[in-house]
Structure 1
Amino acid sequence: MFMFAQYVLLLTSLLSSVLTLPLVRRDVVDPPITSPTASTIWHVGQTQTVTWNSTGLPVNQTNPIGMLVLGYLFNNSEHLMLNSPLATNLNYSVGQAQITVPNVPTRSDYIIVLFGDSGNASPEFTIINDASSSAPSPGPTSLPSPIPTATSPPTASILTSP
């Protein structure tokens, strides 16, 4: 019984010393997207530049790498195409990235989200698919969701947030 009490005392003292370690301050990188804007119109297949404000970022960021994702808003929900990001391994301090507008249906509620340690979205903007009807799509079920292969580039996959 005495051994058990010593073991519990030792374990308790070890746990309390671990819990008293100082916290490490973490930076939050949240640069606002400056382009596209609400008046932006893109066409499928075009090369476009997404920009964000990189002033005021911490000099020694914990993780300066992020990615750009296309999504859209529908029924008060964000639908992000996480399986086919527009750009990956972006350094926040650069402040811009060139992307090719993917083959998606015409809509006027697309957003660009810059992910890193937080996600911030652009205003809603329009993408026009000249090969399809110019009328906006009725909802999320109209976006294609093929399985990407090595021989064909991904078009779109959808994740919805609750």
Structure 2
Amino acid sequence: MQFTLLASALAAFAASAVSASPVSNAARMILDVWAPTIISPNASTVWTEGQQYNVTWDTSNAPVNISNGASVRLGEDGQLTETTLASGFDLRQGWVTITCPSDVIPGNNYSIILFGDSGDQSEQFSIISPMQSILGL
């Protein structure tokens, strides 16, 4: 019985070793994952609802193959929201202009999630209402 279990285990190991062939360079390029550091917004950023801002990220270590499915989404309390702020841009440009949504509740618990090859989240920042901006709050 022990011999049968040992033989089965060795056969399974041998089969997995044969099927685990090296990844070709072409396949490896497809598997590149890049999570660029978001530069702005950061913890000291304050956006006003309805105004335009640039979301920026570091492109210095970008791989050769980058996803074309880039998008910027709004996060709240560390969670992804349904709000897409931009999509369909080239991640290599390092920035995209967005309009801050007017239908959010002002607060200091917002973040940006940059999607492409991988999701990357900014530091939390604040969004204020136009009235708060006028009053300097």
Task: Tell me if both proteins adopt one fold, taking TM over 0.5 as the criterion.
Answer: yes
CA displacement at 1:130 relative to structure 2: 3.1
Residue 96 of structure 2 is aligned to residue 97 of structure 1: yes
Identical residues among aligned pairs (%): 39
* Matched residue, 1:114: 114
Structure 2 CA distance for aligned equivalents of residues 91 and 31 of structure 1: 13
* Matched residue, 1:158: none
Residue 72 of structure 2 is aligned to residue 68 of structure 1: yes
1:66–1:90 contact (8 Å) kept in structure 2: yes
Residue type of the alignment partner of 2:75: G
Q: Deviations over 1:41-97 (max 9, x none)?
A: 0100001000000111112x1524311000111xxxx32123x30001121100000
Q: 1:62 to 1:50 in 2, by over 3 A?
A: closer
1:36–1:125 contact (8 Å) kept in structure 2: yes
Q: Which runs of 5+ in 1 are unaligned?
A: 1-15, 133-162
Number of residue pairs aligned between Structure 1 and Structure 2: 111
2:73–2:84 contact (8 Å) kept in structure 1: yes
2:45–2:125 contact (8 Å) kept in structure 1: yes
TM-score by length of 2: 0.72
1:64–1:93 contact (8 Å) kept in structure 2: no
Q: After superposition, where does 1:128-143 map in structure 2 within 5 Å?
A: 128-130=128-130
Higher helix share: 2
SS at match of 1:109: strand
